[in-house]
Amino acid sequence: MMEHQSTLFDSIEDGQDEQYEVRAIPKKETHYLLLNVHYARRVPSIVYAFGLFKGEKMVGVITYGIPPSPTVCKGICGEELRANVLELNRLCLVNNKPNEASMLVGKSLALLPPKRIIVSYADTKQDHLGVIYQATNFLYTGCNKPRVDWAIRGLEHMHPKSISNMVAGAESRIEALKERFGDDFYYVQRSIKHRYIIFTGSKSDKKALKKLLKYEVLPYPKKETNESI
């Protein structure tokens, strides 16, 4: 059913009416932009994928997948709703024209199944604040806790969970990785990320899910400015 869903809307740019469309796309159609345009250069876990089309040209993609952390899935609204959690894990635009990001986020959320709990992160390492999430009414719930991740020289594109899975079944995964990769195995400090959450479905669905939210809702962070400039 999802592949038949889409949403049309108009945008006025340079005095011209232009029709945009957001529609579900096969996962593989996101790969070129994710590997060549998005800063992460990696394809994440994808459950739902949507494209932003301007006419017949795809000018952006957004993907939703299962968060790699079971703790996050359980921690947002509780163990009973862990299966409802999705992560907005990639947002990539070819030209990033004004309003395209908010169009793609807002319209893709409307195409997701109801009663889904969506979490997304803004990476401070990339100087991201999460302005697009603020513009699309996500709830801000603070930052992730500082921690270190596993990394392997030459395989920096791999997610730490994928690295761990390389030695699945080992009594000690750390020791197994050290034995396998030697000095190429190392630790890297995970960057601090702002955490945003939003819900899908009817107004009553969203209200019920918000009541179950276990994180404190905080004011949106703002970029510091030098008032003398």
Q: Around 129, how many Cα atoms within 13 Å sit in the side-chain half-sphere? A: 9
The confidence band for 4, taking pLDDT boundaries of 50, 70 and 90, is: very low
Cα–Cα distance between 147 and 119 in angstroms, integer? 19
Q: What is the pLDDT of residue 221?
A: 93
Looking at residue 91, its pLDDT comes to 96
pLDDT for the residue 18: 64
Q: Calculate the alpha carbon distances from 34 to 94, 106, 112, 146, 208 in Å.
A: 10, 20, 20, 26, 34
Strands (E), 112-202: 117-123, 139-143, 148-152, 185-189, 193-199
- pLDDT tens digits, residue range 120-177? 999 887 778 999 999 999 999 999 876 777 778 887 767 677 788 888 888 788 888 8
pLDDT of residue 7: 54
User: What 3-state class would DSSP assign to 188?
Assistant: strand
Q: Which pLDDT score, from 0 to 100, does residue 163 have?
A: 80
Its sign, for the CA torsion 6, 42, 79, 220, is negative
Q: How much is the pLDDT for 11?
A: 47
CATH 3.40.50.10140 fits 2-144+192-212, yes or no: no
- Domain spans, the chain: 2-144+192-212, 148-189
